[in-house]
């Protein structure tokens, strides 16, 4: 996701911004610091973020896989073929499928994995905006 958690003058979650466990526990339970949430609100905020992330990940996974499978569906491949007789269409369809796969795969260092991850990233950003 392109969103970043930014520190502000108030209501910062020590679980997000404080690097050490001991310091986090101290801020949350022992010596409160101005600008940070208390323990209860920090934990509630963290669980809310986790829930949002879980839903966005699930939605993004479905959307990315659906998009990739749509790109490689027989119908999508068939639309790329010129109109021909039925007998030669099967061979052309396979050739078009192979060409489509190779074109997609060769355009990325890690092949289809990179394509899926790009689709996933786009879908995650979209799902994250809908929270």
User: In what helix (H) or strand (E) does residue 98 lie, and over which residues does it extend?
Assistant: helix 86-106
Contact yes or no for 46/5 (Cβ under 8 A): no
Q: Report CA-CA distances (Å) from 131 to 18, 50, 51.
A: 26, 12, 10
pLDDT, tens digit (0-9, with 9 covering 90-100), for 113-127 = 888 888 889 888 888
Please compute the mean of the pLDDT values over residues 37-49 and round it to a whole number.
93
Give the C-alpha separation, 88 to 70, whole Å.
23
Judge whether residue 96 has pLDDT over 60: yes
- Percent pLDDT > 90 in the chain is 15
pLDDT, tens digit (0-9, with 9 covering 90-100), for 9-27 = 678 899 998 889 999 999 8
Contact yes or no for 62/119 (Cβ under 8 A): no
């Amino acid at each position: 996701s392109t969103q970043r958690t930014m520190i502000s003058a108030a209501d910062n979650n020590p679980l997000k911004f404080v690097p050490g466990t001991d310091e986090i526990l101290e801020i949350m339970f022992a010596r409160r610091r101005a600008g940070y949430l208390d323990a209860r609100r920090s934990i509630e905020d963290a669980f809310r973020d986790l829930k949002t992330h879980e839903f966005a990940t699930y939605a993004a996974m479905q959307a990315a896989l659906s998009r990739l499978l749509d790109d490689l569906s027989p119908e999508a491949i068939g639309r790329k073929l010129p109109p021909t007789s039925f007998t030669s269409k099967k061979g052309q369809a396979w050739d078009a499928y192979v060409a489509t796969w190779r074109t997609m795969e060769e355009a990325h260092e890690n092949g289809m994995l990179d394509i899926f991850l790009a689709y996933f990233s786009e879908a995650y950003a979209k799902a994250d905006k809908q929270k």
